[in-house]
Structures are given as C-alpha cells and as structure tokens.
C-alpha cells in the first residue's frame, strides 16, 4: 500500500474487524497494533549475512506463537492480552533475526528460538 501510511493501513484494517496488525520494517523493527493500541518494536542488531526469508520467518513465528498460546483463532485474537502480544512479536523478531545471520532462506528450528 505505497499510497498509504502504515498508520492508515492499521486503522483501516481495524475498522474491518482485524484484531492484530503487524507491519514489519526489516532492520527498523515492526509497528504493531492490537485492537488499536499501537506500539513499536525495535529491530534486532545482528551481523546480517542474508535477509532472504526474514519476513516469512517473522510471520511463521508469529503464527507458531499464537498457536502455542492457544490464540490462533478469532476468539483467541479477541482474548489476546497486550503482554502476550509483546511476547509474540519479540519471539517473531528473534526468529527473523536468526534467519538474517544465515545464507539463504534458512529459518531457525523451534528449539533455536527462546520460548514464548
């Protein structure tokens, strides 16, 4: 959505019933909004080898974390607390940062990423 600001996209998606919006920004971190409460997550400082697959890793880790918390459903997202959300995006950011330290789209195994 190049013609819109991230905040505009977030507001529009929330207006359409989306509970959780995450706008990843590479090394700049992410802009996260849970039911309209917006916060920024800084990027991780790592020795970057290759960024291929980092965004995919972030999304996969976010979904994995939601599932592990029993929140991978509409009802789960409605019940997701801000503390849980912050832990989830931290987990996803850590997983994506690990991917950036490797050549190719080499996602970390679950055991390599600290627990949610």
Give me the residue spans of the domains in the chain.
6-112
Q: What's the pLDDT at 46?
A: 95
Q: Report yes or no: 64 and 56 within 8 Å, Cβ to Cβ.
A: no
For residue 4, the SS3 value is: coil
Q: What's the pLDDT at 115?
A: 77
End-to-end CA distance of the chain: 31
Read off the tokens for 103.
């050549």
Q: Report yes or no: 93 and 29 within 8 Å, Cβ to Cβ.
A: yes
For residue 72, the SS3 value is: coil
Which residue among 56, 67, 90, 106 is the active-site one?
56
| C-alpha span between 32 and 42 (Å, rounded) | 11
Q: What's the pLDDT at 1?
A: 67
Distances (CA, A) of 19 to 9, 49, 72, 92: 13, 34, 12, 18
Global pTM value:
0.91
pLDDT in tens, 40-78: 999 999 999 999 999 999 999 999 999 999 999 999 999
Q: Report yes or no: 44 and 95 within 8 Å, Cβ to Cβ.
A: no
Q: Report yes or no: 101 and 113 within 8 Å, Cβ to Cβ.
A: no
Q: Is 67 in the active site? A: no
* CATH class for the region spanning 6-112: alpha beta
């Amino acid at each position: 959505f190049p013609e819109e600001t991230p905040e505009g996209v977030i507001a529009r998606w929330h207006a359409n019933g989306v509970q959780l919006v995450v706008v990843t920004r590479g090394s700049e971190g992410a802009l996260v909004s849970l039911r309209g409460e917006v916060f920024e997550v800084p990027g991780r400082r790592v020795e970057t080898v290759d960024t291929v697959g980092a965004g995919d890793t972030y999304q996969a880790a976010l979904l994995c974390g939601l599932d592990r918390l029993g929140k991978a459903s509409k009802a789960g997202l409605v019940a997701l607390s801000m503390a849980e959300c912050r832990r989830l995006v931290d987990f996803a950011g850590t997983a994506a940062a690990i991917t950036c330290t490797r050549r190719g789209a080499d996602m970390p195994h679950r055991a390599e990423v600290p627990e949610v």
